[in-house]
Amino acid sequence: MLIRDACLCLCLSIAAALCSQSAVAAPDPYRDHHGRVPSGYTGALFKLSHDYPAGLPAPAMPWRSAAGNRPLDPGNAAAYTAALKESVARDMVALLANDGRWNAAERGWYNDPWLGAQREPLHGMLVGIERVDSNLFPKSGLRKPFTTYVITYYNRIGAQTIGRIWAGNPHAPQLAGGATQYAEGAVTVKLAFTTAGPAEWPAMQGALGWPIAMTANATTGHFDRPAISRGYLMQVDIAVKDTQSSPQTGWVFTTFVYDKDARPGPHGVWDRMVPLGAQWGNDPSVNSALHPGAALRETWINPKAPLYATETLGWGGRLSGPNDHGVNDISVASQGTRRLIRNAPNSSCLGCHGSSQWNAANPGKGMASFMMPLAPPEPGAAPNAGAPYLNSPRPGSAEWLRWFQNRAGNVPMDAGSIAGDYDLALTFRVLPAWHAATTGKVHTLQKLDAGGATIQ
């Protein structure tokens, strides 16, 4: 359901993109945004920051010392998470102020190429998930479905990787030879806004609202040409490459969520973005299907996180946020019977991002495994059996656990693919957009259908 809706939207925007691109000679990888500015809007427009740097020395990494310069565990993760947030505070406060003084390029923050056709013109945001159902948040009183809008920025160290992949020839990405790997100290920040405001969701009372040129708004039911509406800042993700603190996966994923009960400090709304948690591994030795309450050693959840943000934690309580699609309706087939489980936690930050890989021999498919546990249809079953639920292996089975391993970022999930070092923007968004623009065909990953049957 959710996936199909997200795809419909993506398909529509891709189709629009391809149409408008047919008028120009060659698609521009560094296009800023789709260009359909709502009439009457005279404010600032998004500028893509793409002058990717190279050859930088290793940066200071104050988050390491905040954690005592040792690998993370649930005891030092809170201090680490706070230091990581502090390290980007100055720039993110300036970005969120939205007062025209934000200049990403000057401050050393960069965006991905090839997504211009999908970016709305005000902030360069992409539709994250087109429709999040209100039944995912029963405890916090969400009254309407919502759409999320997202934008991702890479710091200078991280942007070197984007440059290595695209700067040589943006029409022929360089993926081999370790090009996709991030250096220590690469930081990625992703902001997620929801169309559900305080009127539809008490959890958003006092949240920062940004005008966004929306083509999809599941809260109001507006789907069509861009119209300006408010999105409310719900979640800020900060991911960092740090093999010292996370020796097995090389990454620490942290997320912060808006808390209406947190007091604004000198940084305004930034101070009200409180940690939901951190994850540096998938706890592969904990089978949460067999031992549902078992403690995790590679996820830390903030005990004071607001209620709404804890409603969509991932499998066995592994970290996943309200914007992350870590809870889905799944269909589990076994010996001719089929079990439908609504709102099943079936992912986590690192579980989903660990599927980042690209099969250069089959670019039309790109990612050899789906982002979440996905099973082929049972022999003899209709190809879309179980749809619109996601065909899933049995929770906790060996097949399911493929998505909950700890791999280094240069080890692909499937043999024969190039590992994407946990970057899903690259393999789920950017490479498919590049492939679609160069072949003129919508990419499989841009038209994912529900049920999973068509994905395998």
Residue ranges in contact with ligand HEC by CB under 6 A: 128, 150, 152, 188, 190, 237, 239, 253, 255, 319-321, 324-326, 347-349, 352-353, 371-372, 422-425, 428-429
The nearer residue to ligand HEC, 190 or 199, going by C-beta atoms, is 190
What are the structure tokens assigned to 181, written together? Answer: 């790997």
Tell the smallest beta-carbon distance from residue 100 to ligand HEC (Å): 25
Burial (CB count within 10 angstroms: exposed 0-12, middle 13-18, buried 19+), residue 138: exposed
The nearer residue to ligand HEC, 196 or 240, going by C-beta atoms, is 240
DSSP readout, 131-180? -B-GGG-TTTT--S-B-EEEEEEE-HHHHHHHHHHHTS-TTS---TTTTT
The nearer residue to ligand HEC, 194 or 255, going by C-beta atoms, is 255
The nearer residue to ligand HEC, 107 or 378, going by C-beta atoms, is 107
Question: How far out from the chain centre does Cα 165 lie?
Answer: 20
One-letter amino acid for residue 165 of the chain: I
Strand partners, 253: 239, 279
The nearer residue to ligand HEC, 84 or 204, going by C-beta atoms, is 84
Tell the smallest beta-carbon distance from residue 429 to ligand HEC (Å): 5
User: H-helix or E-strand containing 226?
Assistant: strand 222-241
First to last CA, the chain: 17
Cβ–Cβ contacts within 10 Å for residue 184, how many?
Answer: 15
| Residue 8 phi, psi dihedral angles, 5° rounding | -55, -45
The nearer residue to ligand HEC, 429 or 447, going by C-beta atoms, is 429
Report which of 123, 88, 74, 138 is spatially closest to residue 301, judged by C-alpha positions: 74
Strand partners, 401: none
366 near 444, Cβ under 8 Å? yes
Tell the smallest beta-carbon distance from residue 128 to ligand HEC (Å): 5
The nearer residue to ligand HEC, 134 or 299, going by C-beta atoms, is 299
196 SS3 class: coil
128 near 162, Cβ under 8 Å? no
Q: Measure the CA–CA gap between 197 and 207, rounded to whole angstroms.
A: 8
Tell the smallest beta-carbon distance from residue 246 to ligand HEC (Å): 13
The nearer residue to ligand HEC, 53 or 198, going by C-beta atoms, is 53
Tell the smallest beta-carbon distance from residue 19 to ligand HEC (Å): 23
Strand partners, 146: 132
